Structure 1
Amino acid sequence: MKSLARILSAAGLVLGLALAGVPAGAQQPPPLKPGSPAAIAAAKEILAMKNASSMYANAVPNIVQQTKDALLQSNLNYQKDLNEVAVIVAQSLAGREKEIGEGMAKVYANEFTEQELKDLVAFYKSPLGQKLLSTEPRAIQFSMSYMNQWAQSFAEVVNAQFRAEMRKRGKEI
């Protein structure tokens, strides 16, 4: 499961980097249409079968840590206090990561009809759906590995073209 979380974090990073070049206005999704209680329940069941909570299980402590680290950069003399406050803040906000799961269920209920969600639940309960649930993390891991290898190789091609074009201009880089 830890490897799945790392894979999904990497996928999120890749997606985040891909979206970094998109204008800020284009990044905001339209407001969600409210899903029926049955659609949201089916979406939650799908997310549970996919163990989606592993993606965000450590969201609160991670954000607390990131915030503490950022504050420490400009307040080194408060390190002891910030370390103590981080524990208090993490404890007071524990469990808030469940809001992510609620939001994800609403997104699914917005993107799929109630019947489609019920059909997806039935699919994931089928032998093929079970196989997909069990093998998809590995397929994603291998896909991410392939994508990273491709990107590294392609970056070398791009670098070579830059150097060739600069050489044409009489400039070695």
Structure 2
Amino acid sequence: MKTFLLAGLMFLGLTLNLNAQSDDSYKQETIEFIKLTGATKAFQNAIAQIGQMVPEDKKVDYTAEAEGTLDDLYSKMADIYMAEFTQGEIEQLVAFYKTDLGKKLASKQTSLTQKAMGLGQNWGMEVSAIAQKYQ
């Protein structure tokens, strides 16, 4: 009985260890995907833009500390993506973003998002004007 219990615990430990390794590689691949989409450039731009208010003699320290927050941000973002996409889907997305078309999409993503947000704001004002007619 003790041998059976010990063997079961060893198997469980091995299974948990393998799952932890699999989850870690899944998370790392998800982080790679997020970076391939152009997020790194967007975050670097945000750090620089926010840092404009920091005095020049403190910018190096500010930049280092701000960039130090990115690993945690990527990890949290990965958790969000992992809740929506399987590891196989993430692998396919990584493969796509490594293609020429995927690289082009990633390089234009920030600009496209900004333009789309502008359109969305204009559309929202248009719909608000329509709603006002009915008040």
- TM-score, normalising length: structure 1: 0.48
Q: Give the counterpart of 2:132 among 159, 163, 168.
A: 159
Matches within 5 A, 1:1-173: 36-53=23-40, 94=65, 95-162=68-135
- Unaligned stretches of 5+ residues in structure 2: 1-19, 51-57
Q: Could you say which structure has the higher helix fraction?
A: 2
* 1:132–1:56 distance in 2 versus 1, CA, 3 Å: closer
Q: Give the whole-Å Cα distance in 2 for the aligned partners of 1:56 and 1:139.
A: 16
Q: Give the whole-Å Cα distance in 1 for the aligned partners of 2:74 and 2:104.
A: 23
Is contact 2:42–2:110 with CA below 8 Å preserved after alignment? no
Q: Give the whole-Å Cα distance in 1 for the aligned partners of 2:41 and 2:115.
A: 19
Q: Report the secondary structure of 2:28's partner residue.
A: helix
CA RMSD of aligned residues (A): 2.9
Q: Give the whole-Å Cα distance in 2 for the aligned partners of 1:42 and 1:149.
A: 37
Is contact 1:49–1:124 with CA below 8 Å preserved after alignment? yes
Q: Give the whole-Å Cα distance in 2 for the aligned partners of 1:97 and 1:133.
A: 19
- TM-score, normalising length: structure 2: 0.59
Deviation readout 1:32-82 (Å, 9 max, x if unpaired): xx87122111111111112324555668xx7xxxxxxxxxxxxxxxxxxxx
Q: Give the whole-Å Cα distance in 1 for the aligned partners of 2:101 and 2:41.
A: 22
How many percent identity over aligned positions?
24
Give structure 1 regions of 4+ aligned residues with deviation exceeding 3 angstroms. Answer: 53-59
* 1:150–1:117 distance in 2 versus 1, CA, 3 Å: same
Q: Give the whole-Å Cα distance in 2 for the aligned partners of 1:51 and 1:132.
A: 9
Q: Give the whole-Å Cα distance in 1 for the aligned partners of 2:26 and 2:83.
A: 9
Q: Give the whole-Å Cα distance in 2 for the aligned partners of 1:138 and 1:55.
A: 10
Is contact 1:56–1:100 with CA below 8 Å preserved after alignment? no
Q: Give the whole-Å Cα distance in 2 for the aligned partners of 1:108 and 1:120.
A: 11
Q: How many residues are aligned here? A: 101
